[in-house]
Chain A
Amino acid sequence: TQLLEQSPQFLSIQEGENLTVYCNSSSVFSSLQWYRQEPGEGPVLLVTVVTGGEVKKLKRLTFQFGDARKDSSLHITAAQPGDTGLYLCAGDGSGNTGKLIFGQGTTLQVKP
């Protein structure tokens, strides 16, 4: 059974601080996606990484896919209160069938 271990599960920081969320597995994924979910809404796709070693930037967010495609990280620089939410990593480990395996999620609170 493929698993994605996401850490930390909870993070409460002050505005302006940096943070990193990790997503790790012993399995290889054909792609890995990061989502952000706010209460009462569905997850919103932030980025998809496909190539081992790939780095993608989205404003203050930097996403990295591990060389072996087993792990990924999300780094936020100078966090803002608007970054508050649930961050989810999800991997497609079944040969690009679209069947996503989700990590446990990281609840981020950024205090002004």
Chain B
Amino acid sequence: SAVISQKPSRDICQRGTSLTIQCQVDSQVTMMFWYRQQPGQSLTLIATANQGSEATYESGFVIDKFPISRPNLTFSTLTVSNMSPEDSSIYLCSVVPSGTAYEQYFGPGTRLTVT
């Protein structure tokens, strides 16, 4: 498995501002992902964070709104830009540890409220 931490754990932000969420893993991982969980709902994949190259976004998500960085194999950031109340969600990073093919582990999440 992998130990994953996220910062901040929660935040309340004003509309129009941006927030950067950090994801740190205790070991090198093959794949890292960012998901969104809207209130009372399940998880939706935002993008795959690619090490050393641009992230791969899923349908409905764009780089201008959710820029992602992954400078190395243990760290990634997700920025939620120009926030609106509709962006209020839990944002989670997940990883597939090196040496495993299918097991995916999630961070504790960042609870974002936009007012």
Contacts and interface: CB of A to CB of B under 8 A. Distances in A.
Interface of A: 30-31, 33, 35, 40-45, 48, 50, 88, 90, 92, 96-105
Interface residues of B, number: 25
B106 A98 contact: no
A110 B92 CA distance: 27
A96 B42 contact: no
Contact of A42 (B1, B42, B108): B108
12 contacts: A40-B111, A41-B109, A42-B107, A42-B109, A45-B1, A48-B103, A88-B42, A90-B104, A96-B102, A98-B48, A98-B104, A99-B33
B42 A104 contact: yes
A30 B102 CA distance: 9
Nearest to B109: A42
A103 to B, nearest CB: 6
Contact of B42 (A31, A41, A103): A103
Interface in B40-64: 41-45, 48, 58
Contacts of B43: 43, 88, 90, 100, 102
Interface string B93-115: 01010000111111111010000
B13 interface: no
Contacts of B105: 45
Contacts of B102: 30-31, 33, 48, 50, 92, 96
Given A41-B109, A43-B106, A96 B101 contact: yes
Nearest to B110: A42
A104 B103 CA distance: 20
A100 B104 contact: yes
A97 B33 CA distance: 11
Nearest to A50: B102
Contacts of B33: 98-100
Contacts of A31: 101-102
